[in-house]
Amino acid sequence: MSAAATALTGKSAERFRFWDSPIGKKAVMAATGFILFGFVTGHMLGNLQIYLGPEKLDAYAEFLQQTKGLLWGARITLLICVALHVTAAIQLALLQKKARPQAYVKKTSAGSSYASRTMYWSGPILLAFIVFHLLHFTTGQAHPDFQHGAVYRNVVTGFQSAPASLFYIVAMLLLGAHLYHGIWSMFQSVGINHPKYTPVFKKLAALMAAVLVGGNVSIPVAVMTGLIR
């Protein structure tokens, strides 16, 4: 075997060892979580254009449809990030279970938040929400009266359904809890963990999660209360 092939094999083995380690999986979750957080933020800012009227929101949606390369590049990147994020989360959970196969006689939650204790089951729920969201507002199969290109109308019509709006609100609250824990855990995963700074990161994470939840929840609430017609 040549020196180049040996070096390549060594690098591949090193990458696999990194992925197999808990630290590697946490690093992957942090990196993919950062990308997904950026998407969620951008998605919310785009959706908030609904308050500017149907022309503005529909024009924004039309712009996205016209930039197919950018749109599909983002979709593929997000799909890869979601797959890696979910896979790493499941494997971390299995590693933790393997490390302690016998459950605690009395489980306590000292030092952990409600958000951290619900990370593993809020993730699958959010994944189910993403599927519903796509069927509701992108492809239209789950929409009561979907019209291609009429984004403003589709959003208003879709959120006039109380069950759909309630599902969105609950999903956004779960997203907020997921983001809160995920954002400040991301700093820990990259080695930034200090008694002086961790409380600051937690407050920052809470603020960022609250802004995202508030912005997203405001839309179905505005439709249900008649503020957006």
Site of tokens 């957006």 = 228
The pLDDT assigned to 106 comes to 46
Q: What gap in Å lies between CA 43 and CA 74, rounded to an integer?
A: 12
Site of tokens 């969620």 = 40
User: Is pLDDT of 152 > 70?
Assistant: yes
Single pTM value for the model:
0.80
Q: What gap in Å lies between CA 16 and CA 182, rounded to an integer?
A: 24
Q: What is the pLDDT of residues 1-42, one digit of tens each?
A: 555 445 445 555 666 677 778 888 888 888 898 899 999 999
The sign of the torsion formed by the CA atoms of 174, 176, 181, 185 equals positive
Query: Per the structure block, which two tokens stand in for 164?
Result: 């759909």
> If DSSP codes are grouped into helix, strand and coil, which group holds residue 23?
helix
Contact at 8 Å (CB) between 154 and 5?
Answer: no
Q: Report the range of poorest mean pLDDT among 122-126, 132-136, 215-219, 225-229.
A: 122-126
Q: What gap in Å lies between CA 110 and CA 108, rounded to an integer?
A: 6
The pLDDT assigned to 91 comes to 86
Contact at 8 Å (CB) between 157 and 145?
Answer: yes
Mean of pLDDT over the chain? 83
In Å, what is the CA distance from 56 to each residue of 44, 60, 65, 128?
A: 15, 6, 14, 29
Contact at 8 Å (CB) between 176 and 138?
Answer: no
Q: Report the range of poorest mean pLDDT among 10-14, 143-147, 199-203.
A: 10-14
Contact at 8 Å (CB) between 63 and 151?
Answer: no
Instruction: Give the number of other CB atoms < 10 A from CB of residue 151.
Output: 22
